[in-house]
Each structure stands twice: as structure tokens, then as C-alpha cells.
Amino acid sequence: MALRLLEDSTIWPGLLILRLGDDDKLQWVTVLPDSVTGADWRALSLACRAIAARAEIKTRTL
């Protein structure tokens, strides 16, 4: 099952608190840097930041 990264997720350099969900399900996932490999941490952090930046650009009014 694929879940989307939702608003209210917290993305800090040393902690990711991800609010994931779809129409029927909501789940919180906490990820610490020592719970995954360094490469996985960088990839996940970068992906979350990119999704958040894209969402911010879409909601910004000009």
C-alpha cells in the first residue's frame, strides 16, 4: 500500500516524524538517523524535503 507524505510531518536534520496516509488510513512514523543506513537516511531526508518544497510551491500565491 502506498501512502502519501501529509502536512504536519516534521523534518529536522536529526529526526523525521512522518505523517503518512491515504483516504482510509493515517499513520505516524518516526525515523532516527541510527535506525537506517547513512545512505538511506540521506535519500529519505532528501525525498521528504523535496516533497515538502513541492507542496509549498503549489500552495504559494503569486
pLDDT, tens digit, 9 for 90 and up, residues 5-54: 888 899 898 999 999 998 889 999 999 999 999 999 999 999 999 988 88
48: which 3 cell numbers?
521528504
Return left, alpha or beta for 35; rule: phi > 0 is left, psi -120 to 50 is alpha, else beta.
Answer: alpha
Which residue(s) pair with 52 in the sheet?
A: none
pTM comes to 0.76
Cα–Cα distance for residue pair 36/12, rounded to 1 Å: 16
SS3 62: coil
Distance between CA atoms of residues 4 and 25, nearest Å: 10
